Amino acid sequence: MAVAAVPRYVKQELFAEAPPGHRFGLYFQLWNPTDWLREADNKGDKDKGKQGAIRRIIPFGNDAGRMARSLLDRQKALADVLGDSVWRLPAQSTAPFMTGLGNEHPLENGFSFLNPYGLPYLPGSGVKGVLRRAAEELALGFYGDTSGWDIVSLWWLFGFEPNSVYLIGPSDRMPPAQLEEAQRWQDAYRNPETRDAVPRDRLEALIKATLNREQQRYQEQPFKLLDDLGTDPKLRDAVRNRGALMFWDVIPEPAGGKLAVDIMTPHYGNYYYQDQGNTTPHDSGQPNPILFLTVPPGSSFEFFVQCDFAALPESLRNSWQTLLEAAFQHAFDWLGFGAKTAVGYGQMKKSKQVQQLQLNKQERWHHEISEWTDKQLAERLSKNWNKNKKEYGDDFASFLVLVREMRGDTLSKWETSTKDNEKKAFKNISSFLEGTEG
Work out whether the CA dihedral 136, 141, 144, 146 comes out positive or negative: positive
| Residue 202 neighbours by CB distance under 10 Å | 22
Read off the pLDDT of residues 117-162 as tens digits, 9 standing for 90 and up: 999 999 999 999 999 999 999 999 998 889 999 999 999 999 999 9
pLDDT of residue 277: 55
Question: Of 183-192, 239-248, 279-288, 351-360, where does mean pLDDT reach its minimum?
Answer: 351-360
Q: Give residue 356's pLDDT band: very low, low, confident or very high (50, 70, 90).
A: low
- How many whole angstroms separate alpha carbon 63 and alpha carbon 61? 6
Strands 300-307 and 86-93: antiparallel
Read off the pLDDT of residues 57-112 as tens digits, 9 standing for 90 and up: 999 888 899 999 999 999 999 999 999 999 999 999 999 999 998 899 988 889 99
Long-range contacts of 223-229 (CB under 8 A, 24+ apart): 223/195, 223/198, 226/151, 226/195, 226/198, 229/167
pLDDT over threshold 50, residue 438: no
Under DSSP, the state recorded for 267 is -
Return the SS3 of 273: helix
- How many whole angstroms separate alpha carbon 426 and alpha carbon 411? 6
- How many whole angstroms separate alpha carbon 424 and alpha carbon 415? 9
Greatest pairwise CA separation for the chain in angstroms: 93
pLDDT of residue 393: 76
Q: What residues have CB less than 8 Å from 320, skipping those under 6 apart? A: 87, 157, 244, 245, 307, 312
Global confidence as pTM:
0.80
- Residue 211: phi and psi, rounded to 5, are -100, 155
User: CA-based angle 114:49:282, to the nearest 5?
Assistant: 95
Give percent above pLDDT 70 in the chain: 96
267 and 285 in contact (C-beta within 8 Å)? yes
User: CA-based angle 246:249:254, to the nearest 5?
Assistant: 150
Count of all residues that appear for the chain in the document: 438
373 and 425 in contact (C-beta within 8 Å)? no
